[in-house]
Amino acid sequence: VFNFSAGPAALPLSVLKEVQDEMLCLPGAGCSLLEMSHRNKIFIDILHDAENGIRSLLNISDDYAVLFLQGGAALQFSMIPANLAKDTGKKANYITTGTWGKKAVNEGKKECDFEVVYDAADSNYNHVPSADQYNISDDAAYLYYCSNETIHGVQFADEPTVPSSVPLISDASSDFLCRPLDISKYGLMYACAQKNAGPAGVTVAVMRKDLLERGSATLPGYMQYKNHAEADSEWNTPPTFAIYVLGKVARWLQQDIGGLAAMEKINREKSQLLYDAIDNNSGFYKGHAVTEARSLMNVTFNLPSDELLAKFVDEAGQHELSALKGHRSVGGIRASIYNAMPTEGAQALASFMNDFASKNG
Ligand code: PLP
């Protein structure tokens, strides 16, 4: 079955098989990884391997820490303003292009002064702003945005423009590792793993080291990035299994796929198959995102009626195309085609869409 779930989502089959092979007894360990101390050298090597895998995929320099955190992406909505804006006298700036940006604003408000410099709500979040549509002052604490809005299927093609004094912060939960990026443009990029990088339970934060110092010592210990960086992501027990799988996914991306440029090429081909099916069926399907903001990862569209929508989901299921129903706040269909979705999955869905439109249009 091709699984189009928005997350937790499909993992590469070869990674699942390796995990299965090693589940009862990790090579060299005499026990399962699930039974091993996080202080064991074997696990510490696994953690460093995962970190190095991400560093090499994204070409991350030593100026950045790579942290493995818990609390999902959602805890970052609070940790970011608490560390980087609270009590600084500066305003945190937000661009909101969908549900996840909005949630980050709602949590951020509790921690610090803030300003939403652009909100795409009026269009029901179908686009991203161009640089001349928002203003960021030189002394903003940071600019926060979500690079890919998972529910609306809206993705930034490039980073927003910020003054050099303002750290750029991105929630990359649903497009982490989908294409190459210049990390040096960012103060902090974070992503929960369960969409594009591994199982639920770990959130990766890539943070410029000078920003680690900003968190006040009065914050709860877990909330301070600095504690995690100083303890090599072992300030408390880290999610060992999730980090282990994440490391395997990073290796799969590097060795089997050939790195992020190769991954981007495949992701563009997969998404184009679905966008062509939306565009080339005489208006039967209505895409949610405007063309320039279409996501490589979450393809969202609607059908002419609720009856046809229900029929589409039902018949797709019979064709082994699962988890296509859109999020309740947008409706319609959402096909999530993260890195692990093979091109054959996108081909199968595109051909089903063409067939369905010709029979029901
Ligand atoms: N940000 C984005 C872009 C997401 O897609 C999600 C989850 O779907 C989250 C944040 C929240 O992640 P978590 O459930 O790990 O807190």
101-141 tens-digit pLDDT: 999 999 999 999 999 999 999 999 999 999 999 999 999 99
SS3 (DSSP) at 272: helix
Q: Which of 97, 145, 174, 328 to mutate to test the pocket of ligand 1 (most atoms within 8 A of CB)?
A: 174
**Given a cut of 90, is residue 217 above it in pLDDT?**
no
For the chain, percent of residues with pLDDT exceeding 70? 100
SS3 (DSSP) at 179: coil
| CA-203 nearest atom, ligand 1 | 15
pLDDT band per the 50, 70, 90 thresholds, residue 21: very high
- Give per-residue pLDDT as tens, 280-324: 999 999 999 999 999 999 999 999 999 999 999 999 999 999 999
pLDDT band per the 50, 70, 90 thresholds, residue 216: confident
> Considering 86, 195, 226, 270, which one is annotated as catalytic?
195
Q: How far apart are CA 92 and CA 77, in angstroms?
A: 12
| CA-74 nearest atom, ligand 1 | 16
pLDDT band per the 50, 70, 90 thresholds, residue 154: very high
Determine if residue 194 is labeled as part of a ligand binding site: yes
Could you state, in order of their start, the residue ranges of all structural domains in the chain? 2-7+259-360, 25-257
Ligand 1 centre from 102 Cα, in Å? 12
Classify domain 2-7+259-360 by CATH number: 3.90.1150.10
Per-residue pLDDT averaged across 5-28, rounded?
A: 97
Alpha helix (H) residue ranges in the chain? 13-22, 41-58, 72-84, 99-108, 225-230, 240-251, 260-279, 306-318, 343-360
Respond yes or no: is residue 132 known to be catalytic.
no
Specify the pTM: 0.98
pLDDT band per the 50, 70, 90 thresholds, residue 90: very high
pLDDT at 329: 84
Ligand 1 centre from 115 Cα, in Å? 22
Per the listing, tokens 């091109």 go with 343
- CB of 153 within 6 A of ligand 1: the answer is no
Provide CB contacts within 8 A for 189, sequence distance 6+.
169, 170, 172, 176, 181, 183, 205, 206
Per-residue pLDDT averaged across 170-190, rounded?
A: 98
Ligand 1 centre from 128 Cα, in Å? 19
- CB of 75 within 6 A of ligand 1: the answer is no
The CATH number of domain 25-257, selected from 3.40.50.150, 3.55.10.10, 3.40.50.620, 3.40.640.10: 3.40.640.10
pLDDT at 356: 98
Respond yes or no: is residue 175 known to be catalytic.
no
**Given a cut of 90, is residue 155 above it in pLDDT?**
yes
- Give per-residue pLDDT as tens, 22-57: 999 999 999 999 999 999 999 999 999 999 999 999
SS3 (DSSP) at 145: strand
- CB of 8 within 6 A of ligand 1: the answer is no
